[in-house]
Structures are given as C-alpha cells and as structure tokens.
Amino acid sequence: MKITTTECFHLKLTLSESYDIAYESVDHCELLFLKITTQEGKTGWGSAAPVTPVTGESATGIMQSYRTVIEPILKGKGVFQYARIMERLKSTLPGKPSAMAMVDMALYDLMAQKAGVPLYQLLGGYRNSIPTSITIGIMPTGEALRKAKKHVREGFHILKIKGGKSLEEDISKIRMIRKAVGEKVKLRFDANQGYSQEEALAFLKGTVEAGLELVEQPTHKDELGLLKNITSKAQVNVMADESLISLNDAFVISKNKCSDLINIKLMKTGGILAATHISSVAKAAGIRSMVGCMDESALSISAGLHFALSRPNIIYADLDGHLDLLDDPFQGMVRISRGKLIPSKAPGLGWTGTLKMQEGL
C-alpha cells in the first residue's frame, strides 16, 4: 500500500459567530487539508488547524513544511510504515504538531480503509459514542444565559463556559447559568490561563454550590507549580490543557500530580499515535483524559472522535469545534444526537463524498 501522490490545500473559513476567550477574539480559522493517494487508488485525508498561541504554527509555515519536508518524505513510502514516517517527521519538523497530526490522521484513515472498518474499531473500539460539551465563549451574562438555554433545548447536556477575564463576572455567570439550566446539566469552566493562583482559588470557592464538573487550565501554561497547588486545594477536578503539548509534558504533569485530568488535542500532540502514548502515561498515573479540539473541520473532529472512542480512560469529549464553521468541505462527517457524538460507519475516518479544492497558499 504505497503512497503515489500527495496534495495539500489551504482554506480560510469563517465562523458563523465570533467569540472571545481569555487571550484572543476569534472570527475565522485557517485550515490545511492533506490528501494522500495510494497505488491501489485509495485516498486518505488529514487536516491541520494551526493556532499560533497554542501550537506555535501558522498556515503559511505548514504549507512550506509540506512542500519541503512532508511531500518528499511521504512519496513512495508504505502506509503501514506509519511509525517510521512519523518519527522521521518529528525529527525534521520540531514545533509543528498540527502539521504532524495532519499526516498522522491521513495515514490512519488509509490503514482503517484497508482493514475495511471504521478507525475507532481498528484503534480498539472501546465504545460506540460519547457525549460532547458545547462551548459558550466570553460574552455578557444575558447572552450567555440565552445560549445556555438554547443549547439545552437542542439536546446538549454538557456546557463548557469560557472565562478568565473577570473573576467576579465569571462567578456570577456560573451561578446564574446553573440556576437557569437546572441540576441535571453538567457545567465545565475553562479559564484559558486567565487567572492568578489567588483568583483561581477564589473562583473555585465562589462556585462550589454550582457543582462544576471540572475547571480547565486556570493559570498560565508554564506555571505547573501553580497548577499543582490549585489542584491540591480544589474540591473540583482540575484539568491541564495548554500545559500539555508533548509526551514529556504528560509525564511531568502525571509524575508531579499537577492536575486531576488532562485534555488531549490531536493538534497539540501531533496526532493519534502520539496521543495514544500520552493516554497510556495518564492511565498509568490514574489520570483520566478528555479529547478536545480547536476550531476545526469535521474531518479532524472525526479523527478526535475515533481516538476518543478507542480508549477506556478517555471519559470526556469536547469536540464541538466544527459546529460554527461555515463552508466546511467535510461537513456531515460527524453526527450529533442528543448531545452524543456518533462516528460514521464507513471505513477509515468515514468520508465518502467528493471534494473540489484549490490550493490557497
């Protein structure tokens, strides 16, 4: 199953609604799509979603890496040499995790197609579906309340609230959303590194009665000591997100008990192969995991879903990054029913449509 041709495309896609988080405002995303074709005529797809503050990459940089490194390495290689391919890319593309993820998921797509099964079954097939949270960005409390009620009416029963800019407003908003949606809806909070240690502890104290399921990355990603202190004092599970990029990060966080949970994002970790190692480290340390996402196409959301379905210690999903994306060429790859994500039954990642793309960079 040798690779004969590869193509890479760049698309700038607009969000149906802009949103704010602690460190930026977002109204669009720039995505890259990799198409790999084998001598048997099978086609595998992968996608990169670079976010400079998180992955350290740009779309322009990834396209350059594709032309100079990725394409030459892939041509003529056997798809089932994926570990060798990914190891070589890792040594030649340091600091480009979403570019690595793009290649990784296309290779896994092809391997599962060859096996004739959906990817999650090839990876382990632990479950068939998983609930996802849906995100409410930083916005005035009244608007957040309206969105929360709307999402619950749509069938979502896990809400992820963004904050980290205003401690008092965050506490008040969480209390009011809890009152508005009732006790059965699960609430998660993500500060996106916006708090000091003192603010994080004050937030946790001020929202005890709201019964949060978890609090994500309250302090700066490089301050693991602060994260550990907060985790040790919190009555709520604390999750590391931006602090975790590599396998070594997972080891350090797990060894030092810096968090109760970790957020594994394929775009941060470099794809499914690396994410599997991270999941194993967390499992060995008794740390449960969530599979999260950036603003992404349904293609890479599908890859995250297949990975999440394959591992028993992945108990949470936050895979809603495709829902507000306009003109997603892979729209429809992931089905949502009453807040649960359900993968395609088709082999591989599940794309069965036809695409027409033009390279944008």
CATH number for domain 121-342, candidates 3.40.1350.10, 1.20.810.10, 3.20.20.120, 3.30.70.1450: 3.20.20.120
Catalytic residue (one of 96, 160, 265, 268)? 265
CA dist 323 and 327 (Å) reads 11
Task: Reply yes or no on whether the pLDDT at 359 is more than 60.
Answer: no
* pLDDT given at position 25: 78
Task: Reply yes or no on whether the pLDDT at 35 is more than 70.
Answer: yes
* pLDDT given at position 356: 62
Catalytic residue (one of 162, 173, 221, 268)? 162
Q: pLDDT tens digits, residue range 292-314?
A: 999 999 999 999 999 999 999 99
Say which CATH class 3-116 falls into. Answer: alpha beta
Q: Locate CATH 3.20.20.120 in the chain.
A: 121-342
* pLDDT given at position 20: 80
- Nearest in space to 352 (alpha carbons), one of 45, 7, 38: 45
Q: Band of the pLDDT at 360, cuts 50, 70, 90?
A: very low
Sheet-wide strand order for 288-291: 134-136, 158-162, 186-190, 214-216, 237-240, 261-264, 288-291, 314-317
* pLDDT given at position 21: 84
Identify the H or E element spanning 2: none
Contact 264, 292 (CB under 8 A): yes
* Catalytic status, residue 265: yes
> What is the distance of C-alpha 212 from the center of its chain?
21
This model's pTM is above 0.85? yes
What average pLDDT does the chain have? 95
Task: Reply yes or no on whether the pLDDT at 93 is more than 70.
Answer: yes
Q: What is the DSSP letter of 271?
A: S
Contact 43, 101 (CB under 8 A): no
* pLDDT given at position 26: 81
Work out whether strand 314-317 and strand 288-291 pair parallel, antiparallel, or are unpaired. parallel
* pLDDT given at position 361: 40
* pLDDT given at position 357: 64
CA dist 288 and 308 (Å) reads 12
Mean pLDDT of the region 98-118 = 98
Mean pLDDT of the region 253-265 = 97
SS3 letters across 197-261: HHHHHHHHHHCHHHCCCEEECCCCCCCHHHHHHHHHHCCCEEEECCCCCCHHHHHHHHHCCCCCE
Q: Band of the pLDDT at 358, cuts 50, 70, 90?
A: low
Q: Locate CATH 3.30.390.10 in the chain.
A: 3-116
Q: pLDDT tens digits, residue range 6-32?
A: 999 999 999 988 888 877 778 889 999
Q: pLDDT tens digits, residue range 205-255?
A: 999 999 999 999 999 999 999 999 999 999 999 999 999 999 999 999 999
Q: Which two tokens stand for residue 131?
A: 């609930």
Residues 6+ apart with CB under 8 A from 330: 45, 47, 297, 298, 299, 302, 351, 353, 355
Mean pLDDT of the region 77-91 = 96
Q: Band of the pLDDT at 170, cuts 50, 70, 90?
A: very high
Q: What are phi and psi of 5, to 5 degrees?
A: -140, 155
Q: pLDDT tens digits, residue range 119-155?
A: 999 999 999 999 999 999 999 999 999 999 999 999 9
